[in-house]
Amino acid sequence: MLNLVLFGPPGAGKGTQSAKLVERFQLIHLSTGDLLRSEISSGTSLGLEAKQLMDKGILVPDEVVIGMIRSKLTTNPEAKGFIFDGFPRTIAQAEALDNLLIELKTSINGMLALEVNDDELIKRLLNRGKDSGRSDDQNESIITNRIKEYNNKTAPLANYYSAQGKYTGINGIGSLEDIFNALCNAIENIK
Ligand code: B4P
């Protein structure tokens, strides 16, 4: 199996590039952001709880997202591999993912980290907010809160995967095609 973590701050291009990578490498795309938004649009109690936090730019509790990922992994036994997009976002989530993959007799092959500066992230997300109506992209204070959550809770994962020799940094500024090609080259080296 080929299991990849696509990593980066909010607005780095994880969702955008995942869509292209799943097609190229025939992997299953697991985005905790998308899974949570689908719970919100279905009006489930999990979705209602998550929305309160997401609208403030705060991470939802680890056990909620770990539960969602567990159920997706176990319902796709024939998968060639997975792209984890926006997950893990905390050390506890990364440890849980490692343990889940051990149960499935597989592991993470590599983490690809999209590197983008804060000014560009804010610009992209405010821009997306205009078209998508996504409530967490509507104003700069929510976006800066998401970046703060990322720096406090998620950025340490770079060291977690570096310590396992699995970290590759990729410049996330440039055309979608150039970034996609850089990701594909890195994946060919990991496979
Ligand atoms: P996510 O849905 O993961 O939100 P995101 O990080 O903002 O999206 P992404 O990074 O994929 O967007 P992209 O760059 O592709 O999470 C939302 C919220 O859900 C979190 O704040 C949290 O509350 C909760 N959550 C999710 N997972 C969680 C977890 N594991 N634990 C706890 N809480 C969790 O796109 C951004 C924009 O940039 C787009 O408009 C795109 O078109 C544009 N763009 C992309 N590439 C570009 C480029 N090269 N140049 C110019 N623009 C570009």
Tell how far the Cα of 124 is from the centroid of ligand 1, in angstroms: 10
Radius of gyration, CA atoms only, the chain: 16
pLDDT over 90 percentage in the chain: 95
* Residue 161, ligand 1, Cβ within 6 A: no
Give CA–CA dist 7/169, Å, rounded.
9
Half-sphere exposure of 91 (CA within 13 A, CB side): 7
Cβ atoms of 16 and 121 closer than 8 Å: no
pTM over cut 0.75: yes
Tell how far the Cα of 15 is from the centroid of ligand 1, in angstroms: 6
The string of pLDDT tens digits covering residues 28-44 is 999 999 999 999 999 99
* Residue 16, ligand 1, Cβ within 6 A: yes
Which atom of ligand 1 is nearest to 172's Cα?
49
The DSSP annotation for 10-63 comes to TTSSHHHHHHHHHHHHT-EEEEHHHHHHHHHHHT-HHHHHHHHHHTTTPPPPHH
Phi (first) and psi of residue 48, to 5 degrees: -65, -40
Q: What is the mean pLDDT of the chain?
A: 96
Helix (H) or strand (E) run with residue 103 in it: helix 91-103
Instruction: With a cut of 90, say whether residue 102 has pLDDT above it.
Output: yes
pLDDT band at 77 (very low <50, low <70, confident <90, very high): confident
Give helix then strand counts, H and E, for the chain: 9, 5
- What integer pLDDT is reported at residue 32 of this predicted model? 98
The string of pLDDT tens digits covering residues 113-153 is 999 999 999 999 999 999 888 999 999 999 999 999 999 99
- What integer pLDDT is reported at residue 20 of this predicted model? 97
Number of C-beta neighbours around residue 154 at 10 A = 23
- What integer pLDDT is reported at residue 133 of this predicted model? 86
pLDDT band at 2 (very low <50, low <70, confident <90, very high): very high
